[in-house]
C-alpha cells in the first residue's frame, strides 16, 4: 500500500469539444454541489418526479416508463436490451459504426441472436437493406439502430426506421445517446419503442446517468417476460417501483442524488431555451464551423444531408501528426477534440459542438486553434479566412 503523498485534485479548465463529455454549464455544476439529501427525502422525491417530466419533454414522449438509469449510457443500452430480450429471441441490429457493434454484444449476452445489417462508416443506415432483413426475418422481435453515431457523426433516419419496425411488427430500439437535445427527436410521433441516451452529450450534464424511455408496447413486452431479467441492478420492474409516482417507493438502490440535481438543472436549461431552439442553435453553430473547416481546406467524412451538427468528423491529411496536434490543442488552448475511433483512427478528428458547448466562441476558438496549430506544423492554413467564413454564416 502506497506511501505516496496525495493532494486535492484541481482539474484544468478545458473547452470540451470532443465526443463527450461536453462543457458543463456553471449552473449545472452549482446544482451538482448542493447539499446531499437522503434518497427517500420528500424534497428529493418531488425533484425525481420533475426529472421524469422534464425527460418526457426532452424525449417528446408521454411514456410513463421514462427515467434516468443510475449509471452511464452503456448501462442505459444494457437496460434496454436485457429487459426486452429473452433467450432465443432474434434482433435485427444495424451497424454503421462502433455503437451498432456494441448493440450486438448486448444482444448476444442476453442469450438472443443478432442479425446484422451493415453499412459503411460514415454512411447512414440503408432503409432498403433494413426492409429486406425485416421481411426475411419474420420472427425478429426488435429492430435496433443508432440514431446519431458518435463514432462517425452520421444521422440515420430514425423516423423511417421506427416506421419500418412497426410495419413488420417489431419493437424499435433506438440509441439516442448523442442525438437527445442536439437534433430533432420525437419518440412518440415517430413511434420509437425503447430509447436510451446519456447525460454528458447534448444535455451537457455531468457523465454518469442514462435517460431511458419505453413505450407502452415495450413495457407490456417486459411485463410478459417468461424469464427474470438477468441483471438485478438494471431490472426495470424493480427500478420503476423505486421511481414510481407519489409516496410509494420500493427501495432498490441509492440514487446518485447529486448527479440527479445536475440532470434536473440541465433539463431545466433545455426547457427554458426550448427544444426546437436548441436544435436550431446546434444547426447554426455547425454551419458556421463547417464553413470555417472548408476554408481551412479540410473536409468532412459525412455528406451534408446526413451530418450531425453536434459531432463533426473532420478528415485530415496524412502529413498531420494527429496525436501531436491534439496534445498541442490541449496544452496551449485547453481545447479537447476527439480522436478517430476504429477505422477512423489516425484519419479523422471528432469535434463535438454539443449542448452548452455549441456556441459561437467555441466555434471561433476551435477554428483558430486548428489553423494556427496546423500552420505551425507546416501546413498552409489561414486562420483569418476560416474565421471570416464562419462569421459570414452568423451574419447571414
Positions in 12-71 near its own copies (CB under 8 A) = 12-14, 16, 18, 20-21, 23-24, 27, 29-44, 47, 50, 53-54, 56-57, 60-62, 70-71
- Choose between 233 and 394: whose C-beta lies nearer to its own copies: 233
CB neighbourhood size of 3 (10 A): 4
Q: State which H helix or E strand residue 112 sits in.
A: none
For its own copies, give the closer residue by CB, 350 or 389: 350
Residue from 9, 246, 319, 395 binding its own copies (CB under 8 A): 9
Helix residue ranges, H only, 168-321: 187-190, 216-223, 236-243, 257-273, 275-295
Contacts of its own copies in 63-122 (CB under 8 A)? 70-75, 77-78, 82, 102, 105-106, 108-110
Only segment of 129-137, 201-209, 373-381, 388-396 that touches its own copies (CB under 8 A) = 201-209
Query: Is there a contact between 227 and 87 (Cβ–Cβ < 8 Å)?
Result: yes
**In the bound complex, what is the minimum distance in angstroms from residue 76's beta carbon to its own copies?**
9
Q: Which 127-166 residues touch its own copies, going by CB under 8 A?
A: none
Residues in contact with its own copies, counted by CB under 8 A, come to a total of: 88
User: At 248, phi and psi to the nearest 5?
Assistant: -85, 100
* Cell numbers for 119: 453499412
Residues 174 and 60 sit within 8 Å (Cβ to Cβ): no
Other C-beta atoms closer than 10 Å to the C-beta of 356 total: 21
- The residues, ordered by sequence, that sit 6+ positions from 133 with a Cβ below 8 Å of its Cβ are 92, 115, 117, 140
Question: Phi, psi at residue 117, to the nearest 5°?
Answer: -120, 110
The 231-270 contact track toward its own copies, x by CB under 8 A, reads xxx-----------------xxxxxxxxx-xx-xx--x--
For the chain, give the number of residues.
Answer: 396
Query: Judged by CB, which is closer to its own copies: 78, or 119?
Result: 78
Query: Smaller CB distance to its own copies: residue 82 or 165?
Result: 82
Q: Which is nearer to its own copies, 75 or 218 (CB)?
A: 75
Nearest to 204 by CA among 335, 22, 342, 76: 22
Number of separate helices (H) and strands (E) present in the chain: 14, 14
Minimum distance of its own copies from residue 271's CB (angstroms): 6
State the minimum distance, in angstroms, from the CB of residue 193 to its own copies. Answer: 18
292, exposed or middle or buried, with CB in 10 Å at 0-12, 13-18, 19+? buried
172/210 with CB nearer its own copies: 210
- Of the candidates 57, 155, 173, the residue with the CA atom closest to the CA atom of residue 114: 173
Contact with its own copies (CB under 8 A) among 100, 153, 208, 340 = 208
Instruction: Supply the minimum distance, in Å, between the C-beta of residue 60 and its own copies.
Output: 7
Q: Give the nearest distance from C-beta 384 to its own copies in angstroms.
A: 29
Our finding on whether 178 is near its own copies (CB under 8 A) is no
d(CA 349, CA 280) in angstroms, rounded, equals: 24
User: How far apart, in whole angstroms, are the C-alpha atoms of residue 341 and residue 173?
Assistant: 23
Minimum CB distance to its own copies smaller for 77 or for 194: 77
With respect to its own copies, which residue has the nearer C-beta, 228 or 317? 228
CA-wise closest residue to 193 among 267, 141, 129, 118: 141
Which one of 137, 160, 230, 372 is in contact with its own copies (CB under 8 A)?
Answer: 230
C-alpha span between 176 and 196 (Å, rounded): 6
Smallest distance from its own copies to CB 62, Å: 6
Residue number with CB closer to its own copies (34 or 388): 34
| Residue 330 touches its own copies, criterion: CB under 8 A | yes
Closest CA to 282 of 313, 315, 311: 311
Residues 210-229 that bind its own copies (CB under 8 A): 228-229
Counting contacts by CB under 8 A, is residue 307 touching its own copies? no
Rounded Cα distance between 277 and 272, Å, is: 10
Which position among 181, 182, 198, 340 is part of the footprint of its own copies (CB under 8 A)?
198
Contact set for its own copies, span 339-368 (CB under 8 A): 341
- Dihedrals phi, psi of 314, to nearest 5 degrees: -105, 120
DSSP state for residue 24 in the 8-state scheme? P
Nearest distance from C-beta of residue 388 to its own copies, angstroms: 30
Return the number of the residue (4 or 248) whose C-beta is nearest its own copies: 4
Amino acid at each position: 500500500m502506497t506511501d505516496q503523498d496525495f493532494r486535492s485534485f484541481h482539474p484544468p479548465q478545458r473547452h470540451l469539444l470532443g465526443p463527450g463529455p461536453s462543457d458543463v454549464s456553471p449552473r449545472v455544476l452549482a446544482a451538482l454541489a448542493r447539499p446531499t439529501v437522503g434518497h427517500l427525502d420528500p424534497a428529493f422525491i418531488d425533484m425525481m418526479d420533475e426529472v421524469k417530466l422534464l425527460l418526457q419533454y426532452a424525449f417528446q414522449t408521454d411514456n410513463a416508463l421514462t427515467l434516468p438509469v443510475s449509471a452511464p449510457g452503456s448501462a442505459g443500452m444494457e437496460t434496454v436490451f436485457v429487459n426486452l430480450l429473452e433467450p432465443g429471441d432474434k434482433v435485427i441490429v444495424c451497424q454503421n459504426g462502433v455503437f451498432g457493434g456494441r448493440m450486438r454484444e448486448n444482444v448476444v449476452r442476453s442469450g438472443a441472436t443478432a442479425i446484422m445489417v451493415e453499412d459503411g462508416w460514415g454512411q447512414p443506415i440503408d432503409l432498403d437493406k433494413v426492409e429486406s432483413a425485416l421481411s426475411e426475418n419474420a420472427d425478429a422481435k426488435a429492430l435496433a439502430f443508432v440514431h446519431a453515431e458518435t463514432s462517425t457523426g452520421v444521422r440515420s433516419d430514425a423516423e423511417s426506421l421506427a416506421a419500418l419496425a412497426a410495419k413488420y411488427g417489431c419493437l424499435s430500439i433506438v440509441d439516442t445517446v448523442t442525438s437527445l437535445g442536439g437534433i430533432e427527436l420525437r419518440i412518440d410521433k415517430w413511434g420509437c419503442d425503447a430509447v436510451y441516451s446519456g447525460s454528458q452529450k447534448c444535455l451537457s450534464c455531468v457523465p454518469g446517468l442514462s435517460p431511458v424511455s419505453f413505450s407502452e408496447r415495450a413495457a407490456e413486452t417486459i411485463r410478459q417476460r417468461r424469464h427474470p431479467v438477468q441483471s438485478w441492478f438494471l431490472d426495470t420492474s424493480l427500478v420503476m417501483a423505486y421511481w414510481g409516482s407519489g409516496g410509494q417507493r420500493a427501495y432498490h438502490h441509492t440514487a446518485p442524488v447529486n448527479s440527479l440535481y445536475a440532470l434536473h438543472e440541465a433539463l431545466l436549461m433545455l426547457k427554458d431555451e426550448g427544444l426546437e431552439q436548441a436544435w436550431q442553435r446546434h444547426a447554426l453553430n455547425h454551419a458556421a464551423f463547417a464553413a470555417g473547416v472548408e476554408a481551412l481546406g479540410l473536409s468532412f467524412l459525412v455528406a451534408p444531408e446526413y451530418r450531425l451538427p453536434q459531432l463533426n468528423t473532420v478528415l485530415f491529411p496524412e502529413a498531420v501528426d494527429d496525436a501531436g496536434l491534439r496534445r498541442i490543442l490541449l496544452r496551449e488552448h485547453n481545447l479537447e477534440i476527439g480522436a478517430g475511433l476504429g477505422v477512423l483512427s489516425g484519419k479523422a478528428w471528432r469535434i463535438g459542438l454539443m449542448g452548452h458547448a455549441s456556441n459561437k466562441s467555441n466555434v471561433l476558438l476551435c477554428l483558430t486553434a486548428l489553423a494556427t496549430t496546423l500552420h505551425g506544423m507546416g501546413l498552409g492554413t489561414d486562420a483569418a479566412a476560416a474565421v471570416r467564413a464562419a462569421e459570414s454564416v452568423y451574419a447571414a
